Chain A
Amino acid sequence: MSQSTGQFGATSLKSSPLKSPRISPAFFAWLLVAPALLFILVIVAWPLLETFRLSFTNARLGGESYVGLENYEKLLEKRKFHQTIYRTFYWMFLSVSLKLILGLIGASLLNAAVPGKALFRVLVMPPWVIPIAIGCIGWLWLYNGYFGILSGTAQWLGLIDGPFEFLAHKKSAFYSAVVTDVWVGTPMVTLFFLAAMQGVSRDLYEAAWVDGAGRWYRFRRITIPQIMPVIVSMMLLSAIWTFNSFEVIWILTEGGPRSASTTLIIDTYKTAIGNYKFGEGAARAVIIVILLSIFSLIYLFFLNKVNKIYGSK
């Protein structure tokens, strides 16, 4: 730090904690980050550690005692839990894939030079803007067998004989939940893709056009590579959100019928909050953290590769 000869400079240097013999610079640095650190400890680290601790207990409403790895052993032995893990990944894969595909199609359409595209861009927003609970209640009506429009239309078209309760059958309940989750999640993906597409220089498309590249070729060879980092980022974010998606399934099916739409997050909630088995619930939560961590690591590896291939250097 340069010495100041001015009155103000001299005074401020004297009062600077860095110059005080009582506080070391390292301690001062810790002092500065302490509020943020405390915040992270209270909001993130402590709940995480507490969950981890609970997972080794049989904590219930009445009390708790240490049980070691018993909760994990029980879980890993349960066939039903294996099915839940498989279902969760299937749910994630299906929902994320659809969100990304529809998002890409939607963004491409919204990016096209069509009259009134500003209006279309606004019209994409509602599923994202409307509170999920309200949206899901709307979908509950749509899926209803007696007054729902889907069942009614299917009957009118002669596809089904009588009312069909979409949420009462194992397969249709699961796929109905996927459709609603896609409806909720697609607008955000679309808008992120649209923003990325608008960042691609128009000159690139014109140069390709002059060189004879058609629409599909330009989309494949320019648009996709240019927005690939955003696609990969959205893939991860969307995967984590979908993996942890709770409201949609809970409002539509509460994980049923007969656990057909129960994902890990629903299972954890049912165990810990529904059945007051905090210890077993915590073990499930820890497994979710481990699975998502592995997934994130794979993603980071993948993102690094993508940046190498599609980056500018």
Chain B
Amino acid sequence: MATLDIKNLAKSFGSVDVLHDINLSIADKEFVVFVGPSGCGKSTLLRIIAGLEEVTSGDILIEGQNVNTHAPVERGISMVFQSYALYPHLSVFENIAFPLRVQKLSNSDVKARVGRAASILQLQDKLSLKPGQLSGGQRQRVAIGRSIVRNPKIFLFDEPLSNLDAALRGDMRVELSQLHRELNATMVYVTHDQVEAMTMADRIVVLNAGMVEQFGTPMELYHRPETKFVAGFIGQPNMNFLTAKVTAASAQEVRVDLDGAITLALPLAGDTVQVGDPVDVGIRPEDLRIVEDGGFEMHVDVIERLGGVCIVYGRIGANETRYCASLAGDARVTEGSMIKLASDPANFHAFDRAGRALHRLNVSFETE
């Protein structure tokens, strides 16, 4: 049971607090992704789990055992680095075999284990080459191979796909998901790319400024973001926000006034807001549609036609707030024109002054 528990963890570098009060419980065989903007502390958290950094306070428990003072090798983890960290002077075989050589395993054992890893990663015909002779994707596989041979309890990945081009990244995402299924191991993966997080994770930890904003399944994060930060971070293109004022609030409904022009009755639990409170109303670009009458008027600035969808960027309201709509690929819009956008009230999100979400009612989604 390779569980990982992080309790009240904090980390400071000198006077700079990097992580505050992190509490996470990762289940056995789970694929958890840490995601967040640059500098949010996600890599530091991973390095702390690996044992490459010490905790300032708090506890790291692997399989229920406190490993705060354990050296990396004693924690039963393996790590894949962003730079791959392959030894340029060693062949692919010796790179993969490195941890086994450290353990002083017999040559036959080393050969068998490296062979097994190479066959999982389809590297059998590359074993005699040096890392410099491999493509980016192959190097990545070698790095993964080096972590597989140790049979670790937990795999740690530090932005392993960030050095690959977009097409290869897509392929490797699929391969890593397959690998997770094949190895059936606990994996913790760090990325700043929300697409990687959404597509690969069983659960996602969204980090911001050294704190956990939300820990949940990709669909929970998408449909029920707990904070405005998560709502804006998860989803592509980003969620649109407009400032509004609460005109009525009940446990079943919140009425808001947008720019004094439009009133929306939203199916949200309004027990944390009061009449007159300012809120940020959010709507995802893909939940907007063009209407003939009613809705918001948007001045279209830029259109990105991607074939299947058409992303329209523009401005709405008296404050000319930047807005974005993801429409059908053949949507009839032209740059410089005015269009009217609307959405089902159930699609709207709202966040109070502190950025906390008002609970959405009547939202159902599959978590798997």
Interface residue ranges, A against B (CB under 8 Å)? 201, 203-204, 206-213, 217, 221-222, 225-226, 228, 309-313
Contacts and interface: CB of A to CB of B under 8 A. Distances in A.
Contacts of B71: 209, 212
A226 to B, nearest CB: 7
Nearest to B100: A211
Nearest to A213: B102
Given A210-B50, A211-B99, A312 B85 contact: no
B132 interface: yes
A312 B134 CA distance: 10
B368 to A, nearest CB: 32
Main secondary structure of the interface of A (DSSP, over half): helix
Contacts of B85: 201, 203-204, 206-207
B89 A211 contact: no
A206 B52 contact: yes
Contacts of B98: 208, 211, 213, 221
Nearest to B150: A211
A207 B131 contact: no
B99 A212 contact: yes
Given A309-B89, A313-B130, A211 B146 contact: yes
Given A203-B85, A310-B89, A312-B89, A209 B52 contact: yes
A228 B77 CA distance: 31
A4 to B, nearest CB: 39
A228 B146 CA distance: 24
A204 B87 contact: yes
Interface of B: 50-52, 71-73, 77-79, 81-83, 85, 87-90, 98-99, 101-103, 130-133, 146, 150
Contact of B131 (A213, A226, A312): A312
A289 to B, nearest CB: 35
A210 B73 contact: yes
8 contacts: A207-B81, A212-B73, A213-B102, A221-B87, A222-B87, A226-B89, A311-B130, A312-B132
Contacts, number: 70
Contact of A203 (B73, B81, B102): B81
Closest 3 CB pairs of A and B: A212-B73, A312-B132, A207-B85
A56 B149 CA distance: 68
Given A210-B73, A222-B87, 17 more contacts: A204-B85, A206-B85, A207-B81, A210-B50, A210-B52, A211-B73, A211-B98, A211-B146, A211-B150, A212-B72, A212-B102, A213-B102, A217-B102, A225-B87, A226-B89, A228-B89, A311-B132
Contact of A207 (B51, B79, B89, B103): B79
B102 A312 contact: no
A184 to B, nearest CB: 32
Contacts of A313: 130, 132-133
A210 B78 contact: yes
B71 to A, nearest CB: 8
A210 B79 contact: yes
A253 to B, nearest CB: 43
A212 B103 contact: yes
Which of A210, A211, A226, A310 has the most B CB atoms < 10 Å from its CB? A210
A225 B89 contact: yes
A213 B81 CA distance: 16
A228 B88 CA distance: 12
A10 B146 CA distance: 63
Nearest to B94: A221
Given A206-B85, A312-B89, A312-B130, A211 B102 contact: yes
Nearest to B81: A203
A199 to B, nearest CB: 12
Contacts of A203: 81-83, 85
Contacts of B101: 221
Nearest to A222: B87
Nearest to A217: B102
B132 to A, nearest CB: 3
Nearest to A225: B89
A93 B98 CA distance: 34
A146 B248 CA distance: 102
A207 B77 CA distance: 11
A210 B88 contact: no
A222 B89 CA distance: 9
Given A309-B89, A312-B88, A210 B72 contact: yes
Nearest to A208: B98
A241 to B, nearest CB: 28
A204 B98 CA distance: 11
Contact of A311 (B82, B89, B102): B89
A81 B101 CA distance: 51
B28 to A, nearest CB: 21
A180 B99 CA distance: 43
A211 B103 CA distance: 9
A201 B50 contact: no
Contacts of B150: 211
A211 B85 CA distance: 12
Contacts of A206: 52, 79, 81, 85
B150 to A, nearest CB: 7
A312 B90 CA distance: 8
A309 B131 CA distance: 13
Contacts of A208: 98, 102
Contacts of B77: 210
Contacts of B131: 312
A207 B80 CA distance: 8
A206 B156 CA distance: 13
